[in-house]
């Protein structure tokens, strides 16, 4: 099992490092100073990965390749969700808080008290929900696991247990890379506090998410 495990870790590791929708969502949320929400996004994405991997190991996600209706339903649900998320980011507002132009200590404390709160728009739950839905409503993740996971499960090994073990490797790599992204974003936070910069970040991420939605709609 060690050989297939190492090979699978290399494959999904390269996939994890490839910039994409997950990276854009994590960076955007973390740069805005919403660390709890950013970690919610991370854990939501990994929840979706674990669900897809387990479903693939159990043979459930084969339905995506066997049933055109199931695939198309999930496909267009994903398209609608991404387009809706992108539009929301383009419309989001970041009003100036009191003391926004003061010293870094005051401003940083204010952001931390508001954006990092468990309640409100920057809460952990909101991030987890966004990350989970983004992952689960992407049928290409399911198709990836249907195509890639089975060849790495050794003959004679318990299929479900081996599949969950391999998926856990993907999750662990995703958590490590996401931690690095959040740490990097936090170093830029003091330079990106101004509402105008935050709006620009939302516009850029919103356009990127809309692009991913359009790409999914076109089937590329």
Q: How far apart are CA 195 and CA 16, in angstroms?
A: 31
pLDDT of amino acid 140: 76
CA dihedral 8, 176, 37, 77 (to 10 degrees): -10
User: For residue 107, what pLDDT band results from cuts at 50, 70 and 90?
Assistant: very low
pLDDT of amino acid 46: 95
93 φ, ψ to 5°? -115, 145
Q: How far apart are CA 215 and CA 138, in angstroms?
A: 12
Least confident of 9-23, 41-55, 84-98, 112-126: 112-126
Instruction: Answer yes or no: pTM beyond 0.85.
Output: no
Across 35-60, average pLDDT: 90
How high does pLDDT run on average in the chain?
76
Dihedral angle sign, alpha carbons of residues 188, 193, 197, 199? positive
Q: What is the DSSP letter of 99?
A: T
């Amino acid at each position: 099992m060690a050989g297939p495990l190492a090979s699978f870790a290399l494959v999904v590791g390269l996939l994890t490092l490839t910039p994409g929708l997950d990276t854009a969502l994590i960076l955007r949320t973390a740069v805005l100073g919403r660390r709890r929400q950013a970690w919610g996004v991370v854990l939501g994405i990994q929840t979706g990965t674990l669900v897809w991997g387990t479903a693939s190991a159990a043979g459930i996600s084969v339905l995506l390749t066997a049933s055109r209706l199931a695939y198309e339903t999930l496909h267009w649900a994903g398209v609608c969700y991404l387009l809706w998320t992108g539009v929301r980011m383009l419309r989001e507002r970041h009003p100036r808080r009191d003391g926004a132009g003061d010293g870094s200590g005051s401003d940083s404390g204010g952001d931390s008290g508001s954006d990092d709160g468990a309640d409100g728009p920057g809460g952990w739950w909101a991030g987890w929900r966004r990350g989970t839905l983004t992952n689960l409503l992407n049928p290409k993740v399911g198709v990836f696991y249907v195509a890639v996971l089975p060849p790495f499960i050794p003959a004679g090994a318990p299929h479900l247990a081996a599949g969950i073990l391999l998926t856990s490797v993907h999750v662990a790599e995703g958590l490590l890379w996401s931690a690095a992204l959040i740490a990097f974003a936090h170093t830029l936070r003091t330079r990106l506090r101004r509402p105008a910069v935050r709006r620009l970040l939302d516009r850029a991420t919103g356009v990127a998410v809309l692009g991913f939605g359009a790409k999914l709609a076109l089937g590329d």
